[in-house]
Amino acid sequence: MTATPAADPRPATDEEIASVEEQLRLLFVRVRAVWKEAAAAVHPDLQPVGYKILSAVVRRGAMNAGAVAEALEIDKSVVSRQVKQLEALGLATSVPDPKDGRARIIQPTPVAIERVGQRSSRMQQQLYAKLRTWSADDVEQLARLLARLGGDALGEREAQDPAAS
């Protein structure tokens, strides 16, 4: 049974909030490890940030570096360096942006699409398998609470735009 804010008007204690902070820290550590594993599964020389960039262009389609940097909230110079590595590894190509000659459009290669798709589907299968062991109420509550935390902590734009993550 879950308490709603109206049912439990007591504010959270610092210790309770610290417990949430610790669980988030542990989750983020695991997520970084998963990105590292995913990058290595795509190519042994691929860095985790390169994997995030590559998976973004695989999922969303060809994008210019500025759009990638904005979507992933990373510096454009990092994107530029990683795209060079992706090209060297045969995982992406970049072509001049027809709308802006100064910009380049980043496109995944067929090999990248296949490898990222395989890795993504394995990670998704693992997540689904784990969450299928939970009750529907627990999964719904987790989704609601994550959306609420995202909206409260990150601001409404990020919370309302799942593509921005």
Each residue's pLDDT tens digit, 20-45:
999 999 999 998 998 899 999 999 99
Q: Could you please report the per-residue DSSP string of 35-79?
A: HHHHHHHH-TT--HHHHHHHHHHHHH-SEEHHHHHHHHT--HHHH
Q: pTM of the entire structure?
A: 0.75
Q: How far apart are the first and last CA of the chain?
A: 30
pLDDT in tens, 70-116: 999 999 999 999 999 999 999 999 998 888 888 889 999 999 999 99
- The tokens of 81 are what? 């360096």
